[in-house]
């Protein structure tokens, strides 16, 4: 096929490879999850069912992406650690981040009814994320210590806050009482005023949850005489520990030592500013048009599994359009969008300060919202079809310095739409006429070659 004159716009896409031997961590957080929790009436300070839903989503992520070997989460956040030798999507940060956030966002509404059978999901959840490049195993160790310390600090504070509110204080009054208090003072407040021993609260609330894969023997089948045939399979485990970055916890798990590395000694004082210096952050150039392009991941298979009509399924395209419309309503800085097949491009206004123009925040929030909306809207467009598995999308951010180049970008995508749709229309017409897929490809290869 001939290339269009607009192909030059691809040169504005930047390479964001995380170089080896950096360990890759993806951390996702709920966007405005306080409001989400209030609307869906989650228990305070902790809703055990909601936390179990988060853990179930994390398990699904590890099952879907074998290169992720460990994760740690609490509240509305989860961190996913990739094995040190990963080549997942050529270690491109935007691709890795958007896929993990997208899949997690799709799984969350998919599993909602399993955990909240009596509750309707009022609106789709959104997560944003970032990539952390851990230059050494010691940086990863300190990162995990930092996140678990945040879990403990936040949970202790929130436990005190909501106990005070339950006792009749306003939220503002409770905040004033807790202002400047140390950990021990909060423990005493809980015990003296409310008879609560903080250390006896559920481990999941105080310590967070670890999810990792372990090789375990499982019965694969039975032989003719009834003897079980066993195979080693990857199985997810949820565990809790007072110190997820301690040698006594980490070094007993051989798969973690093999895939990530071991801790030489226990971690000392935590320095969050030092850890933040390893954030993989691409701040987008000011006064440029920002385009966020998202694409369906392995959508050929998704279309086959869900028996979409070939070459175009009108309902599937309308579902994509409904999600794009929702994005424009949700994010005021998105002023225009253009889509074809399983992709959509969203144009943000030139002076946008959305997420302080941090690529990771913008890409992850948009791809997350689009993914969860896709799942939530599925039944509106396919009332007779079951969603067999959660879809995922990857995304990237590109800056275009002028309106002319932005126009050429949109022209490029529309030319691509025409070329691909013309090819696919011919291809499926040939297949429906009785040709094999291979014969149809060969016929079109000759036809396209003659027209170049």
Domain with 192 in it: 23-210
Query: How many domains, in total, are found in the chain?
Result: 2
Residues 173 and 297 in one domain: no
pLDDT of residue 449: 55
Q: What's this model's pTM, rounded to 2 decimal places?
A: 0.93
Residues 111 and 205 in one domain: yes
Q: Is residue 259 part of a domain?
A: no
CATH number of the structural domain spanning residue 41 = 3.30.70.3000
Last residue of a domain, one of 172, 191, 210: 210
Residues 287 and 202 in one domain: no
Residues 148 and 287 in one domain: no
Residues 27 and 136 in one domain: yes
Q: How far apart are the first and last CA of the chain?
A: 7
Residues 197 and 297 in one domain: no
Q: Is residue 271 part of a domain?
A: no
Give pLDDT tens digits along the chain (452 positions).
456 788 888 888 888 899 989 999 999 999 999 999 999 999 999 999 999 999 999 999 999 999 999 999 999 999 999 999 999 999 999 999 999 999 999 999 999 999 999 999 999 999 999 999 999 999 999 999 999 999 999 999 999 999 999 999 999 999 999 999 999 999 999 999 999 999 999 999 999 999 998 877 666 677 777 777 667 677 888 999 999 999 989 888 888 999 999 888 887 777 888 888 887 778 899 999 999 999 999 999 999 999 999 999 999 999 999 999 999 999 999 999 999 999 999 999 999 999 999 999 999 999 999 999 999 999 999 999 999 999 999 999 999 999 999 999 999 999 999 999 999 999 999 999 999 989 888 888 876 554 44
Q: Is residue 297 part of a domain?
A: yes
Cβ contacts of residue 369 below 8 Å, gap of 6+? 105, 124, 126, 326, 327, 330, 331
**Cβ atoms 296, 393 nearer than 8 A:** yes
Q: Is residue 228 part of a domain?
A: no
Residues 29 and 134 in one domain: yes
Last residue of a domain, one of 160, 176, 210: 210
Q: Is residue 117 part of a domain?
A: yes
CA 236 – CA 207 distance, rounded (Å) = 19
Q: Is residue 265 part of a domain?
A: no
Written in H, E and C, the secondary structure of the chain is CCCCCCHHHHHHCCCCECCCCCEEEEEEEECCHHHHHHHCCCCCCCCHHHHHHHHHHHHHHHHHCCCEEEEEEECCEEEEEECCCCCHHHHEHHHHHHHHHHHHHHHHHHHHHHHCCCCCCCCCCCEEEEEEEECCHHHHHHHHHHHHHHHHHHHHHHHHHHHHHHCCCCHHHHHHHHCCCCHHHHHHHHHHHHCCCHHHCCHHHHHCEEEEEEEEEEEEEECCCCCEEEEEEEEEEEECCCCCCCHHHHCCCHHHHHHCCCCCCCCCCCCHHHHHCCEECCECCCCCEEEEEEEECCHHHHHHHCCCCCCCCHHHHHHHHHHHHHHHHHCCCEEEEEEECCEEEEEECCCCCHHHHEHHHHHHHHHHHHHHHHHHHHHHHCCCCCCCCCCCEEEEEEEECCHHHHHHHHHHHHHHHHHHHHHHHHHHHHHHCCCCHHHHHHHHHHHHHHHC
* Phi and psi at residue 367, to the nearest 5°: -70, -30
CA 308 – CA 253 distance, rounded (Å) = 44
Residues 176 and 287 in one domain: no
Residues 432 and 339 in one domain: yes
Residues 201 and 292 in one domain: no
Residues 296 and 193 in one domain: no
Q: Is residue 155 part of a domain?
A: yes
Residues 201 and 309 in one domain: no
Last residue of a domain, one of 166, 193, 210: 210
**Cβ atoms 72, 79 nearer than 8 A:** yes
Q: Is residue 76 part of a domain?
A: yes
């Amino acid at each position: 096929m001939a290339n269009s004159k607009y192909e030059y716009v691809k040169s504005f896409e930047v390479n964001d490879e995380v170089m080896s031997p950096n360990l890759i961590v993806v951390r996702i957080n709920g966007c405005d999850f306080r409001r989400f929790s209030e609307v869906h009436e989650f228990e305070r300070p902790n809703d055990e069912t909601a936390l179990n839903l988060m853990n179930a989503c994390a398990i699904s992520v590890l099952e879907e992406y074998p290169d992720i070997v460990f994760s740690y989460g609490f509240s509305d956040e989860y961190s996913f650690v990739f094995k040190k030798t990963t080549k997942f999507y050529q270690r491109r940060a935007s691709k890795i981040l958007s896929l993990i956030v997208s899949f997690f966002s799709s799984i969350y509404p998919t599993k909602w009814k399993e955990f909240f059978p009596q509750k309707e999901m009022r609106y789709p959840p959104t997560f944003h994320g970032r990539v952390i490049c851990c230059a050494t195993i010691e940086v990863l160790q300190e990162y995990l210590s930092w996140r678990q310390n945040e879990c403990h600090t936040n949970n202790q504070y929130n436990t005190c806050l909501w106990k005070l509110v339950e006792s009749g204080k306003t939220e503002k009054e409770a905040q004033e009482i807790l202002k400047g208090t140390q950990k021990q003072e909060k423990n005493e407040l809980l015990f003296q005023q409310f008879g609560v021993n903080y250390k006896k609260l559920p481990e999941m609330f105080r310590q967070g949850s670890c999810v990792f894969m372990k090789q375990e023997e499982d019965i694969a089948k039975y032989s003719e005489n009834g003897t079980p045939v066993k195979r080693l399979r990857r199985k997810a485990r949820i565990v809790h520990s007072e110190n997820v970055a301690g040698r006594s916890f980490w070094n007993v798990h051989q798969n973690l030592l093999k895939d990530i590395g071991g801790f030489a000694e226990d971690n000392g004082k935590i320095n969050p500013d030092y850890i933040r210096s390893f954030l993989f952050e691409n701040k987008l150039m000011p006064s440029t048009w920002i385009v966020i392009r998202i694409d369906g991941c392995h959508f050929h298979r998704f279309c086959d599994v869900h028996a979409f009509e070939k070459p175009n399924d009108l309902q599937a395209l309308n579902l994509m359009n409904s999600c794009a419309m929702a994005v424009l309503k949700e994010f005021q800085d998105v002023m225009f969008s253009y889509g074809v097949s399983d992709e959509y491009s969203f144009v943000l206004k030139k002076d946008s300060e959305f997420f302080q123009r941090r690529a990771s925040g913008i890409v992850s929030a948009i791809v997350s919202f689009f993914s969860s909306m896709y799942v939530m809207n599925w039944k509106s467009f396919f009332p007779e079809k079951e969603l067999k598995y959660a879809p995922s999308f990857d995304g990237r951010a590109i800056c275009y310095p002028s309106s002319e180049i932005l126009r050429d970008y949109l022209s490029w995508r529309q030319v691509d739409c025409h070329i691909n749709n013309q090819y696919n229309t011919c291809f499926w017409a040939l297949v429906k006429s009785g040709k094999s897929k291979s014969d149809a490809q060969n016929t079109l290869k000759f036809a396209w070659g003659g027209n170049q």
